[in-house]
Each structure stands twice: as structure tokens, then as C-alpha cells.
């Protein structure tokens, strides 16, 4: 079996989960290194976990890896993607919302022979949406409900003076397009960006975001109306150690990595 060298950019909740699994061994995959902001903190964590791999700089990623997993703050997406894509290599992007204002990265991947992979993440049903997009999709709507602490600090809330503290009932804090949601909630609704990229685009995909003190999970409901099917999808994600991120997100990235060399590949 060929081996894909995988580097992880970022050791937050998702990056740590992936590093553990890859270090334990996944057929066809090798943990080639990590790129982090705080080297000493990363070294201490890896030593405690028994993980042995080099700590890399972002510009050096193509020298060590065939694929880089972006599990870092959305603000440095381009710094991760550009070196890899310019070298004709692959990047798995988890901050899908940060892709929307950077179509030049997709152009770069096309021109240099690289590839951007956006895994399903904390959503579901992207196979159905991408299939429907081969025909005609009339509308896509999404409703997100999160515990208030999972939305606290979002730029849109701060800019508009919207408080989610002390809520006793659900409060709708946003209604608009996926593009607007990705800009206003960069750490919260990468799912909306991924949905829009799979379907009819960020300006036609509509989303509502609710701060709901009655839920303990990150809940997403999608409604799609297309010429091939009409469907509704719902998921309730258990938050990871980072309340803004679902635990299933790291598992989705791992599943997408396994597919690279799987003898049986399920799904579109």
C-alpha cells in the first residue's frame, strides 16, 4: 500500500485528536509532522502523549508532507494552503468558511495540480447535496442551534451588540446567507460554508443561527429542495473540549484520510 505523509497544522482539539490516531497507526498514512504557534507547548504535549514527529514551519510543509490538514485558526488558512498547493500537493481544510473569500486558492490548486479537500465535518448529507447539485437545486436552508457559550465572542455578535449571556429561552442571533454567516461566525459555522460549496453557493444558501440554552449539543438541520429529491437532515453533535467544535469533526477528517487508500470506499 502506498503511504501518504500527513502533516497537521494546529494542535487544538481537532489537531490533537488526529495526531493521536495517526501516531497510533492508520494503514497508508504516516504522521509526518506538526506545525504550531507555540513550539514548547507542543513539545510538552507530544512528549506526554508519546508522539514522536518533527515540528515544522508552514513554508516547509511541502518538503515533509503529501497532505496537510488545516486545523488552525481561520486567519492563517492561506499561509497553510499556498505552499502546499503551489507544490501540487493536497490540503484538507476544516475552516471551510475561510475559503469563501479566497477563491484564488482554488484557482491555485487548479493551476498547480494541487487539491483542496473539505471533509463533511460536523455536518451530514453532503453526499446527497453534491449529488443533487449535478441536477438543479432550488433552495438550501440550514438552521443551527448551539448552547450560548458555543457562540460567545463571535465577531457578528460583538459588532452588533448582541448578548447571549443569561438566556432563558432560544434567541435567534443571525439570519442571512452562508457567506455572511461564515464572516460573522468564523469559528462556529464552517458547516454552512461546506454546505454551500457542496450545493448552490454561499450567496444562495440561507442560514439561521440560534443561541439556545435548552440544548447541550451543536444542532444543525438542513432542508434541500431539488429537482431530484427533497430532503431534511438533522444532526446533534457532542461538543469537543472546545465548545465551538463538535467531537465528530476530527473523526470526519480521519475518515476522509482513510478513504485515500481504502480498498473499499463508501460514499460519493
Q: Is the pLDDT of residue 256 over 90?
A: yes
Same domain, 90 and 155: no
Residue-level pLDDT at 246: 77
CATH number of the domain residue 217 falls in: 3.30.360.10
Q: How far apart are CA 259 and CA 127, in angstroms?
A: 14
Q: How confident is the model at residue 214 (pLDDT cuts 50, 70, 90)?
A: very high
Q: Flag whether pLDDT at 1 surpasses 80.
A: no
| Averaged pLDDT for residues 66-78 | 95
pLDDT at 239: 79
Catalytic residues: 220
Shared domain for 255 and 214, answered yes or no, is: no
* Mean pLDDT of the 71-100 span: 95
CATH number for the domain harbouring residue 40: 3.40.50.720
Interval 127-140 mean pLDDT: 96
Select from 87, 86, 92, 88 the least CA-distant residue to 68.
Answer: 92
Any domain includes 150 = yes
Say whether both 217 and 136 belong to one domain.
yes
pLDDT of residue 30: 97
Check whether 58 has a pLDDT greater than 90. Answer: yes
Indicate whether 266 belongs to any domain. Answer: no
pLDDT on residue 247? 86
- The whole-number pLDDT of residue 81 equals 98
Question: What is the mean predicted confidence (pLDDT) over 35-50?
Answer: 96
The total of structural domains in the chain comes to 2
List Cα–Cα distances, 6 to 3, 172, 253, in angstroms. 9, 40, 12
Quote the pLDDT of residue 157.
Answer: 97
- Expressed as residue numbers, the domain containing 22 is 4-122+248-259
Residue 244 has a pLDDT of: 72
Q: Are residues 131 and 118 in the same domain?
A: no
For 221-251, give one letter per residue: b (16+ CB within 10 A) or e.
ebebebeeeeeebebebebbeebbbbbbbbb
Q: Is the pLDDT of residue 178 over 90?
A: yes
Q: Are residues 83 and 193 in the same domain?
A: no
* Residue 70 pLDDT exceeds 80: yes
Mean of the pLDDT values across residues 242-255? Answer: 86
208, 195: one domain: yes
CA dist., res. 189 & res. 206, Å (int): 12
- Residue 57 has what pLDDT? 97
Tens digits of residue pLDDT in 13-33: 999 999 999 999 999 999 999
Q: What is the pLDDT of residues 142-174, one digit of tens each?
A: 999 999 998 999 999 999 999 999 999 999 999
Amino acid at each position: 500500500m502506498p503511504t501518504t505523509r500527513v502533516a497537521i497544522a494546529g494542535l487544538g482539539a481537532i489537531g490533537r485528536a488526529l495526531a493521536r490516531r495517526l501516531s497510533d497507526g492508520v494503514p497508508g498514512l504516516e504522521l509526518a509532522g506538526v506545525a504550531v504557534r507555540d513550539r514548547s507547548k507542543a513539545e510538552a504535549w507530544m512528549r506526554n502523549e508519546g508522539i514522536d514527529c518533527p515540528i515544522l514551519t508552514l513554508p516547509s510543509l511541502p518538503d515533509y508532507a503529501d497532505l496537510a490538514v488545516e486545523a488552525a485558526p481561520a486567519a492563517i488558512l492561506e499561509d497553510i494552503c499556498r505552499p502546499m498547493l503551489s507544490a501540487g500537493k493536497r490540503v484538507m481544510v476544516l475552516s471551510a468558511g475561510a475559503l469563501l473569500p479566497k477563491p484564488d486558492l482554488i484557482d491555485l490548486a487548479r493551476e498547480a495540480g494541487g487539491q483542496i479537500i473539505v471533509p463533511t465535518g460536523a455536518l451530514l448529507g453532503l453526499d446527497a447535496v453534491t449529488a443533487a447539485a449535478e441536477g438543479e437545486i432550488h433552495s438550501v436552508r440550514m438552521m443551527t442551534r448551539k448552547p450560548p457559550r458555543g457562540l460567545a465572542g463571535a465577531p457578528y455578535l460583538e459588532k452588533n451588540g448582541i448578548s447571549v449571556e443569561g438566556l432563558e429561552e432560544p434567541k435567534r442571533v443571525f439570519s442571512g446567507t452562508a457567506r455572511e454567516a461564515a464572516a460573522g461566525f468564523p469559528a462556529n459555522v464552517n458547516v454552512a460554508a461546506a454546505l454551500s460549496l457542496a450545493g448552490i453557493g454561499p450567496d444562495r444558501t440561507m442560514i439561521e443561527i440560534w443561541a439556545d440554552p435548552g440544548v447541550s449539543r451543536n444542532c444543525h438541520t438542513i432542508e434541500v429542495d431539488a429537482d431530484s429529491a427533497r430532503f431534511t437532515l438533522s444532526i446533534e453533535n457532542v461538543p469537543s473540549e472546545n465548545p465551538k467544535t463538535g467531537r465528530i469533526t476530527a473523526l470526519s477528517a480521519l475518515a476522509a484520510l482513510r478513504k485515500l487508500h481504502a480498498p473499499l470506499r463508501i460514499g460519493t
